Amino acid sequence: MPSDLNKQIFGPFTVKTKYARRLLKDLSSFKYLFLSGSHAEFKNFLYSKTMVPTGEGSQKWLYYLTDYRKIKKDPFNAPLPKYIEMETTTLCNKRCHICEYIYWPKDEQVKRHLTLDEFKHVVNQIPDLRWANLTGEGSSFLNKDYPLMLKYLSDKTKASIWLVDHLSDITQEQLIQDVFPFVKGIYVSCDAATKTTYESIKAGCNFDNVVANLRAIIDYKRRHKTPFPHLTFRYVILNNNMHEMPQFLDLLNSIAEAHEWGGSSSYVEFTGLLFFPEIEHYFVDEVPQAIIKELLKRKGGIDFQFVHAEQKRNPPLERCDAWMEPYIMLPGYVLPCCSVMMSNRRPFLRHYSFGNVFEKDFKELWRGDYYSRFRKTVLDPCGAVPSLCVGCRAFQTQHRIDKYGIWDIHK
């Protein structure tokens, strides 16, 4: 959910017109898919843009007018979701300073790849899957089965597939062979505008490779006259990279015209840090007005918005819709959303998960008492805060904890 900081900076009317302009940007993508003859891809891409609650690439234009109203009335019996996020590996060869991966105590989390057979087992439990984000705490392309997962999911469901990646390791040949045929959008994790700052934050990543891959993607899209993949940039705001935010917009504008990055979801997300104690010293409580003014001078280039950039402005928990988008953490644990991730508390997440898809069918877990009660409790403004949601970095929870307490399923 975009931060209310956007309304303060751009004004409520401008924020609404931004969404309208983004809708127009997608018309070329809808036309491209429709004329390509793949009506299933067209249908699922349209669905992902209009009905997926919070996922990468979604603009949820119709979600609040349809599904959300029904679910709000009866969250206990919410229908099986048609969208999912899944962790495909917990192995990584990088040492990014703000990632929980490098702070995991020994043996706290199994480090391995999800296998193709395991992936198929999960996918086959969710009928009518229309959108998926295949990203985890590791580096996905280290998993040799990862390209096969993308292909399997695309061939079987024609779902709109999105992924998050730093684009540092992947080769241009891999992009052409393993990504472009199957993926509708990529969220590029890039937290700086210069090589020195970037490589000091994302230790082990290569800034020059990232820029070269971005140029290659734009070149591919130009040569093939395709809007895909849509590219979004996720820039995590830190006290040691905040000064490069305006320069980052300049970098992107030097690579491509604003419309060439893709459709409605192609913009820069300046995102607040989802911190835990080990990285709290990087946290920025408020974006300085001087930087905001510099960003606004870049009008006419790639669009940008703030996401959870100032947590004091987060909406209350009862407005959460992220729980409609389940996240499956290795090895198979079902969680309500991706917001509970990146908190460096894997044993806690396993303990309070709704169960494991390798032990029970996802449908059985979704309709089980724990998951059902959780959905109802989250949406109740007079209800206790579920343990999984305590301290959420996307929504305010403390006001409800103070008044109604914490709901602990294990007590």
- What pLDDT sits at residue 14? 64
Mean pLDDT of 371-376: 94
Mean pLDDT score across all residues of the chain: 90
pTM greater than 0.85 (yes/no): yes
Question: For residue 273, what are its two tokens?
Answer: 């840090």
Residues 259-274 have pLDDT tens digits of 999 988 899 999 988 8
pLDDT over 90 (residue 220):
yes
Question: For residue 97, what are its two tokens?
Answer: 């300073």
pLDDT over 90 (residue 310):
no
Q: What are phi and psi of 192, to 5 degrees?
A: -165, 165
Residues 6 or more apart from 231 whose CB is under 8 A from it?
185, 186, 188, 214, 217, 261, 262, 266
Q: How far is 80 from 82, CA to CA, in rounded Å?
A: 7
- What pLDDT sits at residue 2? 46
Residues 333-354 have pLDDT tens digits of 999 998 888 788 999 999 999 9
Question: For residue 261, what are its two tokens?
Answer: 């990055």
